[in-house]
Structures are given as structure tokens and as C-alpha cells.
Chain A
């Protein structure tokens, strides 16, 4: 292997590793932030202490996951320049502004109000605290929006022309931001995050019921989690289907790989399962549904022709097996989540939920499904786009920093790998401990006065309420 290829491979491993690590946490915190707004809103409206206890409980978990999301996200903002300097230079005029909007509208917003969320409960009026919750949730959502705009542009580049020096010059920002691709992919990501969090919440509830503890909170969590999922999973599947339509239209090589379709077919059959044999361009052990089911699934048509890999030059093929299997794992997780959410919510209607131990166990063990589906969905989208980094216009191999030595990338890969393994293990352990600890009893004076609070200036507690507390309330 030449040094360029080795550097490219190592840079790809490093980027894939750091970006996959990162997405796990936003997938969790985008949903949790919305869940916290929901709980705080319910508490403000009803005054029931159970919502406050649940809020405080999930806030502690949110804090650990949010911290991991922030530190792993900062890495990505710089990795484009360090390892992909040609991409950064040439597509900078498009990707730079999109990510600048992300940091301005989202990153700064969530980072600033996160401090208020964790430390400010006793320093600000209740309405301001609620606004801080809203701002954190808004920040995480806007962050997902800009990232999806940016990634969608890399999938289906539009609104640009190529300058003589190889720079991508934006002509039409409306086409870049409001493209149809964004509006199916952004909801798909947002729903993925909501469903992932809903299953984590339901699983926690099921775990407590199995242990016969936290009677009120556990039931509330399992019902709410499964109920939210029962509504959102079908919507998510619908958006997943809409995602398929853009792939068919704009990325034939990705679609052919996802379907392991080697030859053009009209109408097309549908491979349910197989071992794609790339060397011999055929599928082994294939379980195939007859035509026109492939056309129906991919193009909503009984007669549409579907492109096979053989009509695409092999140098433009993605690695077939990764998108093929990743896609099937994602769909499989989705189906299991749909069944669980519907059956669970149905049984919850007339209070039969707690008696079904098998359902409790299944719900408890379902917590990784959302994460797996999100990750495999991203693998399908990103590996399926290869060998292009900007589909059809810029190859991944041309995007890398030209002069990096394999030794340097190997060194940083080891460094990132070691640190990520350390913080991931610790983070999971601490989240597990917080879950095991469960919701704490409600503080005796829930608002304003906190016995632990230091008396900062003067002596009385009212004087200690400095800042907005005194000026706004």
C-alpha cells in the first residue's frame, strides 16, 4: 500500500471513529433535552412532584451525556481542517458558513444555557429556568438541523458552481438549505433521536418495575416512553421511506449497494437477505422477493426500472456489504421497536403492563436499539456515498490533507482511540450508576431555598439571590 493510501485509510478510520462516537451522544441528548422541557412544563402546569423528581433524575444523566457530546463535537469542528484540508479548502465556502451557523445558533446557545440548567435552579425565577430548558432543547435541535443541511449538501450537492481553482462557490443558498433532501433527512435524524431517548426512558421504567421500586416514576416512564415511541416509530418509518426516494433519484450507486442489485431490473425484485459476493458480482444465499416488489419499495411503482451496480463503473462503487447489512440492521431494529411500542402501549391502556414480565424484560433490553439503528443508518448513508465525499463531484481520496505522514495519523488515531475508550467506559459506568441510584426524594423546599447553597454575599438568603433572581422577580 502506498503511503498516500495508508494515510487516507488511517484518516478515514479516525474520522469514522470520532464521528460515530460523537453521534451516539447527540442521538440521546437531542431527545432528552426535549423530554426535560416536557417534564419541566408538566411540573409547571400541574405542580405534581413526580415530574420534578423525574426532571432532576434525567437532568443528571443528561449532564453526563451532554458533556461527552460537547467534547467529542469540538474534535469534529477541527478535524475537517487537520485531516481533510483539501475538502476544507475547496468546499469551505459552503460547509464553512453552514457550520458557522451551527456554532452561532446552536453550540453557543446550548453551552451557555446548559450552565443555567445545571447550576442555576436557585438563582433564577422559574419562568427563566423553563426558558433555559427551552433554549438547550432549541440549541440541540438547531444543531441537528445545520449538520443535516451540511451533510445533505454533501450527499446531493446543489446551488453551486465550480471555480477554475477547484473551489466550490455557492450561487443559491435557498437551494442548499431548503432542498427537498434536507426536509426528509432532518426529520429522520430528529425522530431517530426522539425514538432513541423514548426507548431509554421506557427501558429505565421497565427496569425499575422489574426491581419493584420507584412505583410512581417507573410506571410514568414506561408508559410515556412507549407511548411516545408508538406514535413516533411509524412516522419515522414513513420518513425513512421518503429518504429512500432521494437515494433512488440522486444516488443510484448507493441504492444498488443497499439492495445488493447487480443488474438493471425492470420491474425489480427485492433481496431480503444475502451475502453479496463482490468479486463475482452476485448474491450468495439470497432470499429474494419476486418482481415488482423491489420497484414498489424503491420507487412506489409496479413497473419502474431499478439500476444495478453493473451499469455503474466499478471505480464509483461503494463497498457493497457495509450499506447492505447496515441498512438491514437499521430496519430490523425499527421493526422490533414498532412491535414493542405498539404491544406495550396497547397493554398499558387497561393496566396489564406490569403483570407481563416478558414485556418488561423485552422493554428493558431494548435500550440499545435506538442507538444501533441511528448508527447503522449513518453507516448506510455515509459508506453508501463512497467513493465520493461530495457525491459525484469530489472523491474522498482527493479530499485528504496531501502531505500527512501515516505515522502522524497513526499516532493521533491511537491517542483519540485511547482517550475515547477511557471516557466512553467511564461515562457509561457513571450513567449506569445514576440509573441504579434512581430518582432522589424531592427536596423539602423545592424552589429558591437550598440548604446546600453557599451564602455568597451578606448573610440572609434573600440577599444571596443575586443576579436575575432579584432583578427580574
Chain B
């Protein structure tokens, strides 16, 4: 069996999910911070920093989902059905936060709070659930001999470790969001975001230490990878450099450093997980080659979507970010 196509699509899946985690990560994070905004001016300012790009950001989740389905149908069917309740909850949360961008502009002063609650609550729940799913995948889910989820309870995924990961991702996204606000906004929002970053950074670090200790204690299969593959330790090193970048960025008020640092922490964490999962698609039960679709499917998407449309998509994503580059002022720009 040709192994190039499955690994190519595993790489594209990784790229889509990484872009999703980074890009929607910052606008979900802004959504979480939105709940703590002081007044309507601050809320508008926060929204105008993400409104033009959030929709494109969220697309990477859908791209990741359909690439998973197209290239690894067994894994798609397995993961989505095994996480039935969390996925449905995440979809509802994404609906509420997605409509809020448009609806809060259209709502009257008295009903605006409904969409504000939906926006913050939706951002928070979607982030939390994503963290829970990643945590549950790290712990491993049971898979039958036929590559299907054997069923069990609807709450098989629930564990203290998974909930810890949910909380950790909320802190991480909030950090990323605060970094984005520093980068995109002007005072007073910029200054307030600067002040909250050290707290969020401390929270993220505490979470990472707790997760590491928990993984050691539970003797998770992930940890064996670290002994087998010592080069993985380069990623925590990148994480340390990223933390230093954020600390100095905040001290010297360098607007682009905190976001870059937070993104590097995410990158390091993502790369650590991806590298410790290899060669598994569903960790420690279904490998990339086992989960791969027939060659006729993989080559069909490779020659069109893979080498033509994907680069085009990346290109116009960059164009759109270029159109909206630079700081946005406190008043929302809206037709």
C-alpha cells in the first residue's frame, strides 16, 4: 500500500487543526475575555478586533472535520460518535457565539445582553469542550476489533484529567486572545489586556505542570513516547523561550510579542501531542494507515483539494489578514 497519501493527509489534517487552534483560539479567547469587559465601548472594541476574520478562522474546524472524514472515515465515525454529547454541545456553543457578531448589532439596547451571554458562554463552552475532547483522546478511548466504538456510556470521555484539559485550554485561549487584543487594539483596551496577561500566563503554566504530573501518575501511554523519542524534549524548550518572550513583551510593552509567544506555546504543545500520537490517528488504538480511506479516495482529493485548492485557501487567508492588518480603533466599523 502506498503510504504517501495517508501521511500527506495526516499532515494536512494536522495543519488544519493547528490553524484552527491558533486562529479560532484567539477569537474564542477574546470571547472568553469579552465577559469581563468593563463597558459597551470595550465590548465593541474587542469585537471589532475579531469580526472580519472569525468566520474564516472557524472554517479551519470544518476543513479539519471534512479532511478527517474524507481521508480517515473510520476515525471520523469513531471519534464523533464516541464524543456524541461533547460534540453536540460544542456545535450549539459555536452557533450561539457565531450569531452574536451580527445579532448584537441588530438587537435593541435591552436585548443585547442575550447575545452577549451567548457570545461569552458559547466561546467558553466551545473551548472547554475542545479541551475535554483532547484530554480524553490523550487518555485513550476504547476501540473494538472492527475499528468501531463499542459503546458504553455517553459519559465515557468524562474524567478529571479531561476536565483539567478543558480548563487549561480556556486559560490558553484567553492568553492567546489577550495577546491578540494587545496586538490589534489601542488603549485603554490594550493596556488592560497587558495587565491580565501575567495572570493568564501563570494559569497556563500551572495547568501544564498539573497535566504533566497527572500524566506521570496515570502512567499514560503518551509518557512512554518521551522515553522512546528524546528529541520530543525540544518542544518544552520552545515553550520556555515563548514564556520568556511573553514576559519581556509585557514588561517592555512590545505589542506583537505576547501574541507571538502565546502562539509559540500552542505550537509547542500541539507539536508535542502530534509527535507523541504518531503513527496513531486515534491515539493508541487506530493507526493512520489503518484508518485511511481507499487509495482512490485519497488520490482524488490529493490532485485537486490537496495540491491546488489548499495552497489557494492559504493564500487568500493571508490576503484577507493583510486587508485587515494594523490596529483597530475603539469604535466598531459597521455598515
0/1 per residue, B43-79, Cβ < 8 Å to A? 0000000011101101101110111011101101111
A111 and B56 contact, CB distance less than 8 A: yes
B80 and A467 contact, CB distance less than 8 A: no
Rounded to whole angstroms, the CA-CA distance of A403 and B143 in the bound complex is 13
Beta-carbon nearest neighbor of B115 in chain A:
A426
Flag whether B224 is at the interface (Cβ < 8 A): no
Flag whether A44 is at the interface (Cβ < 8 A): no
B305 and A100 contact, CB distance less than 8 A: yes
Say which residue of A72, A107, A407, A456 sits within 8 Å of B329 (CB atoms). Answer: A456
Categorize the interface residue count of chain B: 35 or more
Beta-carbon nearest neighbor of B57 in chain A:
A111
B323 and A123 contact, CB distance less than 8 A: yes
A170 and B66 contact, CB distance less than 8 A: no
Say which residue of A104, A452, A467 sits within 8 Å of B333 (CB atoms). Answer: A452
B59 and A112 contact, CB distance less than 8 A: yes
B76 and A88 contact, CB distance less than 8 A: yes
Rounded to whole angstroms, the CA-CA distance of A71 and B63 in the bound complex is 14
B297 and A401 contact, CB distance less than 8 A: no
0/1 per residue, A67-98, Cβ < 8 Å to B? 11011101101101111011011101111110
Beta-carbon nearest neighbor of A440 in chain B:
B335
Given A68-B99, A81-B77, A93 contacting B293 (CB threshold 8 A):
yes
By a CB distance below 8 angstroms, the chain A residues around B297 are 92-94, 96-97, 169-170
Q: Which of A108, A123, A434, A456 has the most CB of B within 10 A?
A: A108
B328 and A454 contact, CB distance less than 8 A: yes
Flag whether A102 is at the interface (Cβ < 8 A): yes
Stretch from A57-65, A224-232, A292-300, A332-340 contacting the other chain? A57-65
Q: Which of A67, A71, A434, A452 has the most CB of B within 10 A?
A: A71
Flag whether A1 is at the interface (Cβ < 8 A): no
By a CB distance below 8 angstroms, the chain B residues around A70 are 55, 98
Within 8 A of A (CB), among B303-335: 304-305, 309-310, 313, 316-317, 319-320, 322-331, 333-335
Flag whether A118 is at the interface (Cβ < 8 A): yes
CB distance from B335 to the nearest CB of A (A): 6
Beta-carbon nearest neighbor of B302 in chain A:
A97
Stretch from B89-97, B160-168, B236-244, B257-265 contacting the other chain? B89-97
A89 and B74 contact, CB distance less than 8 A: yes
Say which residue of A74, A93, A120, A430 sits within 8 Å of B62 (CB atoms). Answer: A74
Q: Which of A97, A119, A412 has the most CB of B within 10 A?
A: A97
0/1 per residue, B206-222, Cβ < 8 Å to A? 00000000000000000
CB distance from A241 to the nearest CB of B (A): 33
A93 and B296 contact, CB distance less than 8 A: yes
By a CB distance below 8 angstroms, the chain B residues around A56 are 335
By a CB distance below 8 angstroms, the chain A residues around B324 are 115, 119-120, 123, 467
Flag whether B11 is at the interface (Cβ < 8 A): no
A457 and B327 contact, CB distance less than 8 A: yes
B58 and A111 contact, CB distance less than 8 A: yes
By a CB distance below 8 angstroms, the chain A residues around B88 are 82, 412, 415-416
A118 and B53 contact, CB distance less than 8 A: no
Count residues of A near B (Cβ-Cβ below 8 Å): 88
Given A80-B69, A108-B313, A426-B107, A169 contacting B81 (CB threshold 8 A):
no
Given A97-B297, A107-B59, A467 contacting B316 (CB threshold 8 A):
no
By a CB distance below 8 angstroms, the chain A residues around B80 are 78, 80-82, 85, 88
Rounded to whole angstroms, the CA-CA distance of A123 and B325 in the bound complex is 10
Flag whether A145 is at the interface (Cβ < 8 A): no
B70 and A99 contact, CB distance less than 8 A: yes
Flag whether B149 is at the interface (Cβ < 8 A): yes
By a CB distance below 8 angstroms, the chain A residues around B280 are none
Rounded to whole angstroms, the CA-CA distance of A454 and B329 in the bound complex is 5
Rounded to whole angstroms, the CA-CA distance of A427 and B326 in the bound complex is 32
Beta-carbon nearest neighbor of A402 in chain B:
B151
B102 and A64 contact, CB distance less than 8 A: yes
CB distance from A4 to the nearest CB of B (A): 12
B103 and A430 contact, CB distance less than 8 A: yes
Flag whether B101 is at the interface (Cβ < 8 A): yes
A454 and B69 contact, CB distance less than 8 A: no
B98 and A67 contact, CB distance less than 8 A: yes
Flag whether A167 is at the interface (Cβ < 8 A): yes
By a CB distance below 8 angstroms, the chain A residues around B152 are 403
Given A89-B148, A434-B106, A467-B322, A456 contacting B313 (CB threshold 8 A):
no
By a CB distance below 8 angstroms, the chain A residues around B146 are 165
Given A99-B69, A101-B304, A112-B56, A81 contacting B79 (CB threshold 8 A):
yes
Given A113-B320, A452-B331, A107 contacting B62 (CB threshold 8 A):
yes
By a CB distance below 8 angstroms, the chain A residues around B91 are 74-75, 78
Question: Can you add 10 more A-B contacts, CB < 8 Å, to A93-B297, A107-B63?
Answer: A64-B102, A77-B65, A101-B304, A103-B62, A112-B55, A114-B55, A167-B73, A173-B300, A403-B152, A415-B92
Residues of A within 8 A of B (CB): 56, 59-60, 63-64, 67-68, 70-72, 74-75, 77-78, 80-83, 85-86, 88-90, 92-97, 99-105, 107-109, 111-116, 118-124, 135, 163, 165, 167, 169-171, 173, 401-405, 407-408, 411-412, 415-416, 419, 423, 426-427, 430, 433-434, 450, 452-457, 466-468
18 A-B residue pairs with Cβ-Cβ distance under 8 Å, sorted by A, are: A81-B81, A82-B88, A89-B76, A96-B76, A96-B293, A100-B66, A100-B69, A100-B301, A105-B305, A105-B309, A109-B316, A112-B56, A135-B316, A419-B96, A423-B95, A423-B96, A452-B333, A468-B319
Leading 6 A-B pairs by shortest Cβ distance: A92-B73, A454-B329, A403-B151, A81-B80, A96-B70, A89-B77
